[in-house]
Structure 1
Amino acid sequence: MNSKDYLKDISEIKDLMNKSSRFISLSGLSGILAGIYAIIGAAVAYVLVNNYSQGTLFLDGLVFRWVLLDLALIAFFSIATAIVLTTQKAKKNGAKIWDISSKRLVVNFLIPLITGGLYILIILGQQKYGQAGALMLIFYGLSLVSASKYSIGHIRFLGYIEIILGLICAVFPGYGFWLWVLGFGVMHIIYGSWMHFKYDKKQIN
């Protein structure tokens, strides 16, 4: 065996080990749709706040409850879409949808996300909601970085961007709405499109 064959074998072994330890069936299209859902939901929230609450969101008001429902629906449709499309992609690839890699991914993603969600609910209950948008971006970014160890590594860069946007949002809370749209809407569409054409399209062809 010459050195070239030896290096090729090592590369193939490393690739197999990498695939076995990472969940690589995430769908880029689900990221695109999540971004679209976020933009539509943001538009609905914008109309509700500006047309029915004089541009101010009161915690004990009906509009605030509608905005919370709006956010919940965005999260629900994004998660449901990700599950459906990722399951379909895994089946096409002959991969298991629920194995040790996907379990680790979900756990590492949910720990920062649930922690952040509970913290946001606590400060909302204390009527301190000026930083809610920033915290959503920051904790979501931390969730992506944490989960990236068990998925396509490039997803951590989306996490870094979300964290940076969250910190900017914390400094300039007056632009919180637009930074939220940029982070959850536009960046999801850009990153999902990149994933779709880099990974999904190759597998289809």
Structure 2
Amino acid sequence: MDSKDYLKDISEIKDLMNKSSRFISLSGLSGILAGVYALVGAACAYWLVINYSQGKLLLDGWVFRTCLLILALVAVLSIASAIFLTTRKAKKNNEKIWDSSSRRLILNFLIPLVVGGIYILIILGQQKYGQTGALMLIFYGLALVNASKYSIGDIRYLGFIEIFLGLICAWLPGYGFWIWVLGFGIMHIIYGTMMYIKYDKI
């Protein structure tokens, strides 16, 4: 066995170790759907605010509660689609859906997300909601970057983009709604399409 064979074996071992420590069955299609849900939800919320709240979102009004319900529905649909499509992809590739790598992925994703969600609820309770969109983007981006160590490395770049957009949103709060739409809607569709072409469409 010459040096080329040794290098080949080492490369194969490295690939196997990398796959065993990462959950790589994430579906690009779920990213596309999450973006579509976000755009539809944003359109519904925008229509409500313009037509029933004179363009201003008041915390004590039914429009605000409806917008929160729409946001929750977008999150539930996105999570449900991700679970369904990722499970289907894992079964197709004969991979386990629930193992140590997927548990690490979920844990590292949820830590920044839950902390961010609690913080946002606290400031909403204090009627300080001007930076809500920025905080959602920043904490979501941090969650993606944190989880990327245990999944497809490409999601860290989406995380960096979300963080960057969150900072811009904090700097330009008057454009918060549109930057939120860009981050959670359009960027998800772009990212999901790229991942679908790269990993799913074989």
State whether TM-score is above 0.5. yes
Structure-2 separation of matches of 1:173 and 1:8: 53
The equivalent residue for 1:86 is 86
Structure 2 counterpart of 1:196, one-letter code: Y
In structure 2, the partner of 1:61 is: 61
The TM-score normalised by the length of structure 2 is 0.99
In the TM superposition, 1:12-51 aligns within 5 A as 12-51=12-51
List 4+ stretches of structure 1 deviating above 4 A: none
Q: Aligned-residue CA RMSD in angstroms? A: 0.4
Structure 2 residue identity aligned to 1:106: I
Q: CA deviation at 1:4?
A: 1.2
In structure 1, what is the equivalent of residue 181 of structure 2? 181
Q: Distance in 2 between matches of 1:164 and 1:130?
A: 18
Could you give the per-residue CA deviations for residues 179-203 of structure 1, whole angstroms, max 9, x where no partner exists? 000000000000000000001012x
Show the counterpart of 2:191: 191
Matched residue SS, 2:158: helix
Determine the C-alpha separation between the residues in 1 that align with 2:158 and 2:110.
16
Cα shift readout 1:40-92 (whole Å, capped 9, x = no counterpart) = 00000100111110011111110000000000000000000000000000000
- Equivalent residue number for residue 8 of structure 2: 8
Q: Which moved more, 1:72-81 or 1:3-12?
A: 3-12
Q: Which residue of 2 aligns with 1:119?
A: 119
1:105 is displaced (CA, Å) by: 0.3
Residue deviations 1:5-55 (CA, integer Å, cap 9, x gap): 111111100000000000000000000000000000000010011111001
TM-score, scaled relative to structure 1: 0.98
Match of residue 74 from structure 2 = 74
**1:143 counterpart residue number:** 143
**How many pairs are equivalent?**
202
CA separation in 2, counterparts of 1:68 and 1:15? Answer: 44
Give % identity.
Answer: 78
| Code of the aligned partner of 1:157 | Y
Q: For residues 85 and 154 of structure 2, what CA distance do their matches in structure 1 show?
A: 19
Q: Deviations over 1:145-196 (max 9, x none)?
A: 0000000011100000000000000000011011000000000000000000
Which stretches in structure 1 are left out of the alignment for 5+ residues? none
Are residue 95 (structure 1) and residue 95 (structure 2) matched? yes
Unaligned runs of 5+ in 2: none
